[in-house]
């Protein structure tokens, strides 16, 4: 991991910092999910709909017992209806805690556990860390390194390295791709992304093409931050479907 980020990462397994929870999420993994949105993120995505998650210690203190207590009442339902997802922010900002919490959920309740990540910080964990996760949802925001950097303020390569690591570990993975007008909707760039995803082979469960929206813009205003994409439109259903078709043409399932 880049040494300049060491001071930004929470390195405790006993407790973490939670932004929020959702007990009936339908878009954060297969089935119905109980989602822990963890605080902290090194990315500064121009279209982020949760900029209030960026600062790690702005979250609420939570420990492993509290995580299990939150899940307990839903466990029997989640066992057949879905599972638990760790999202953010960026959950790998708190990898030691998230790993312990995921394993505790697996051991106590036997639930399906998913990780929603950009993969940027993956070199800070060993291979065994991923054993607690049944599914990784990897957000690749652009296939062009310069545009990726402009969108996120971070480099693309660590995320691509993470994807290759998932191939090596044979980890079931979903790719998430946000379709942003004027930023990530050019046909040739989507084709390059689709080619790359197809090259990852049979670990890829599906690709989720997520149309850009303005639902988080008010949070930027509340935080006194300039939202540079406030004038962008949401992609039409036909544009979103056309992007999905590009992925499907490579033999991928796209939703």
Instruction: Report if residue 202 sits inside a domain.
Output: yes
Flag whether 255 is in a domain.
Answer: no
Domain presence at residue 189: yes
The verdict on residue 213 lying in a domain is yes
Q: Which of 196, 181, 179 is nearest to 143 (CA)?
A: 196
- Reported as a single tens digit per residue, the pLDDT across 76-87 is 999 999 999 999
CATH number of the domain to which 202 belongs: 3.20.20.70
Collapsing DSSP to helix, strand or coil, 62 comes out as strand
The answer to the question of residue 48 being in a domain is: yes
Q: What is the pLDDT of residue 207?
A: 98
Question: How many CA atoms does the CB half-sphere of 246 hold within 13 Å?
Answer: 22
Establish if 254 belongs to a structural domain: no
Residue 190 lies in a domain: yes
**Residue 110 corresponds to which tokens in the numbers above?**
């036997």
Q: How many CA atoms lie within 13 A of 60 on its CB side?
A: 9
- Rounded to 5 degrees, what angle do the CA atoms 139, 140, 142 make? 145
With contact defined as beta carbons under 8 Å apart, do 83 and 109 qualify? no
Q: What is the pLDDT, as a whole number, of residue 1?
A: 38
Distance CA 156, CA 152 (A): 9
Q: What pLDDT, on a 0 to 100 scale, did the predictor assign at position 8?
A: 67
- The domain in which residue 178 lies consists of 3-248
What's residue 7's pLDDT?
45
DSSP sequence for 68-107: HHHHHTTHHHHHHHEEEEEESS-GGGGHHHHHHHHHHHHH
Q: Which of 70, 4, 5 is nearest to 37 (CA)?
A: 70
Which pair of tokens denotes residue 113?
């556990």
Give the per-residue pLDDT at 86: 98
Domain count of the fold of the chain: 1
Beta-strand pair 113-117/82-87? parallel
What is the DSSP secondary structure assignment for residue 254, as one 8-state letter? Answer: B
Going by C-beta distance under 8 Å and a sequence separation of 6 or more, which residues neighbour residue 122?
A: 92, 158, 161, 162, 165
Candidates 83, 71, 75, 91; CA nearest to 16 is 91
| 134 domain-assigned | yes
Which residues, given as ranges, of the chain have pLDDT below 50? 1-7
Closest CA to 124 of 197, 40, 68: 40
Concatenated DSSP letters for 194-212? Answer: HHHHHHTGGGEEEEEEEE-
């Amino acid at each position: 991991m880049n040494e300049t980020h060491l001071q930004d990462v929470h390195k405790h397994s006993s407790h973490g910092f939670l932004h929020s929870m959702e007990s009936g999420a339908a878009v954060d993994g297969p089935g119905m999910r109980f989602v822990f949105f963890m605080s902290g993120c090194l990315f500064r995505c121009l279209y982020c709909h949760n900029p209030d998650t960026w600062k790690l210690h702005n979250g609420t203190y939570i420990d492993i017992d509290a995580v299990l207590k939150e899940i307990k009442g839903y466990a029997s339902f989640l066992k057949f209806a879905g599972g638990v997802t760790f999202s953010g922010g960026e959950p790998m900002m708190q990898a030691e805690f998230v790993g312990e919490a995921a394993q505790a959920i697996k051991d106590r309740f036997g639930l399906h556990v998913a990780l929603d990540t950009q993969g940027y910080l993956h070199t800070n964990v060993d291979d065994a860390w991923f054993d607690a996760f049944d599914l990784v949802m990897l957000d690749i925001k652009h296939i062009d390194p310069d545009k990726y950097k402009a969108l996120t303020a971070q480099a693309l390569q660590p995320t691509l390295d993470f994807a290759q690591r998932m191939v090596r570990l044979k980890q079931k993975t979903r790719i998430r791709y946000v379709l942003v007008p004027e930023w990530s909707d050019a046909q040739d760039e989507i084709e390059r992304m689709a080619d790359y995803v197809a090259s990852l082979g049979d670990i890829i469960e599906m690709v989720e093409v997520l149309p850009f929206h303005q639902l988080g813009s008010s949070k930027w205003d509340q935080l006194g931050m300039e939202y540079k994409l406030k004038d962008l439109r949401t992609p039409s259903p036909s544009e979103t479907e056309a992007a999905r078709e590009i992925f499907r043409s490579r033999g991928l399932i796209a939703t």
